[in-house]
Amino acid sequence: MTDVLIGVDAGTSMIKAVAYTTEGRPLYKSSRKNEVLRPEPGWREQDMDDTWDATAATLREVVEQLNPQDEILGLGVTGQGDGCWLIDDEGEPARDAILWHDERASDIIGEWQGSDVNEQLYDVCGSVQFPGSSLAILLWLQEHETETIMRADTVFFSKDWLKYRLTGEITSDPSDMSLPYVDVRTGEYSSEVFEIVGAPQLESLLPPLHDPLDVIGKVTAEAAKQTDIPEGTPVVSGLFDVPCSMFGSGVSQAGEGASVVGTTSLNQVLIDEPDTSPDGVGMTLSLGLDGENGFGEKRWTRVMASMIGTPNLDWWLDMLRYREDPDYAAIEKRASEIPIGSEGVLYHPYLSGSGERAPFLNTKARAQMIGLEPDHTEEHIVRAVYEGVGMAMKDCYEHIPDTPKEVYVAGGGANSDFWCQMFADAIDAEFAVPEGEEFGAKGAALLAGAAVGVFDDFQTAVRESRTIEQTYQTEPTASEKYDKLYQYYKHTYETMFDIWDKRVETMGAIERVDE
């Protein structure tokens, strides 16, 4: 008989469920697509019932692979953060979920930037608001879908919706609610955020908060029928995917960093004080973990998450007419023969239609390739794209108060030796690639194990379950060159702010000609 912990990670595009041993070793995995709906240009939504059905299917498949004698000790759930997941007073979806990369609230964020609203909200919650943040979306709904707001009873997030379907309990945790509802210093809700935006009536939508390691309920009879998880299995409160993947990848103490180079480029450092400097950039998430849960005192994570990571490379390879299945090893070998700095070609990887959110917020920011000359080749362009993503990561860490000496890196970018060595040189830190893949699900499972008493403390569980596949050390000469490239990179994008404004103004003027 094997004691088993199960972690679920409900990502934006995929839902994964993984069974682990109590040593953190993966046993079985199942995954399902999580379809993103695009009902209007720039809108991103998901059918909440479909998300639940896909999650239930992954859990059934994992349970089918277990031996009948195996015992499931606990279940943890993590998932995409931000966005807006609403239920009515009967626990049914009030509408399709609006996701974190939805653009409809861009004008609201622009208005907040033009006043002191963003600054006031940052002073409270330690995080910058962006178009996909929950509060901005609620205000958009209040203006454009009044009937939805009238019908809504609770606002929470992806993992909270799934926990509700598993247990019947309506809850959230400080990490998901940090942006924008939680006071960064206390980890508790702040009424001030609703007063700042002039919508105090929306505060009633907030659910009860629980510490990430609280058991918030048990699998109900109905959920057991749908998932095959035994009725009565404990379900932990948990964390959303940003901090959960940090712990799953191996971060166990303050001062260590984690990067996920995937759809976004997400960079964070675990800290023991709520340091929100520099003001007005990034996110500071309250984790709510206290001494009883193995950290000695509460912890926070300082996060800088660029909107777009590896899709920059995919887009450019497609534009350069590479096939659907490019030979990345060959591409990187040719790119590595180009000197650091791509002989003057510079790329800013702001490819999102929502602009950029870290380490600066500008909804008008767009990607650009500059410095091209007739002698430049495809290899120069490709290397510049790799370097642009690397410089964006460096830009994020430069805006975190304490740059870590060790960073655990995951996501698709972690599969590239070329990129990982570039990251180590650019950030001037050791980069470690942990073994495994589903670090969000692993973090969720470890939280479940700590919550039900499998581990003496969570910190030890993270450290002892960590295995490293490969490490990359800084090469001092390369690091010095990247420092010089970064100064150019930063100076160039800062001069683009007025130009990005002019771009929007010009496109609007062109469109009005046809009116």
Tens digit of each residue's pLDDT (9 = 90 or more) over 77-100 = 999 999 999 999 999 999 999 999
> Which residues are CB-contacts of 142 (< 8 A; sequence separation ≥ 6)?
149, 199, 202
pLDDT of residue 280: 85
3-class state of residue 7 by DSSP:
strand
pLDDT of residue 1: 76
pLDDT of residue 456: 85
pLDDT in tens, 128-153: 898 899 999 999 999 999 999 999 99
Alpha-carbon distance of 25 to 47, in angstroms, equals 32
> Which residues are CB-contacts of 373 (< 8 A; sequence separation ≥ 6)?
344
pLDDT in tens, 344-362: 999 999 999 878 888 988 8
Work out the pLDDT band at 293, boundaries 50, 70, 90.
Answer: low
Beta bridge partners of residue 232, listed in sequence order:
none
Strand ranges for 307-392 from DSSP E: 346-348, 368-370
> Which of left, alpha, beta for 389 (phi over 0: left; psi -120 to 50: alpha)?
alpha
Report the sign of the C-alpha dihedral through residues 17, 18, 19, 23, in that order. Answer: negative
3-class state of residue 158 by DSSP:
helix
Contact 356, 365 (CB under 8 A): yes
Amino acid making up residue 23: E
Alpha-carbon distance of 186 to 179, in angstroms, equals 14
Contact 249, 408 (CB under 8 A): yes
Strand ranges for 364-440 from DSSP E: 368-370, 406-410, 430-434
| Measured CA distances, 104 to 117, 118, 134, 136, 309 (Å) | 18, 17, 12, 9, 22
Q: Which two tokens stand for residue 498?
A: 């007025």
pLDDT of residue 292: 67
Query: Would you list the DSSP string of 293-324?
Result: GTSSS--EEEEEEES-STHHHHHHHHHTT--S
pLDDT in tens, 451-505: 999 998 898 899 889 999 999 999 999 999 999 999 999 999 999 999 999 999 9
- Nearest of 396, 442, 143, 380 to residue 283 by alpha carbon: 396
